[in-house]
Amino acid sequence: MNTADMVIHVHPELDAQARTDLERKLMGHVGVDCAEFDHLPHPHSLMVKYDPDAVEGMELLQMVRKLDPVASMVGL
């Protein structure tokens, strides 16, 4: 399996329950190995580890944008 990482920035005011729901939704998607917020120092930064052969990063970003339309991908 190939792996890639991406960081998605969401609105800082997104509540804890919405962040948890988003992690679970992404983790349930084929090709996603890990999706978690860095809860303490950067609660608005979502780290996603995924297989680019199974899912495209833009597809994952679009999933996040359903909850936060202005979410953006941050380069690593």
Number of domains into which the chain is organized: 1
pLDDT tens for 58-68 read: 999 999 999 99
Domain that holds residue 19: 4-74
Give the model's pLDDT for residue 75: 67
- The enclosing domain of 41 has a CATH number of 3.30.70.100
17-51 as b/e, with b when 16 or more CB fall inside 10 Å? eebeebbeebeeeebbeebbbeeeeeebbbbbebe
Calpha distance 36→38 (Å, rounded): 7
pLDDT higher than threshold 60 for residue 56: yes
Does residue 50 have a pLDDT over 70? yes
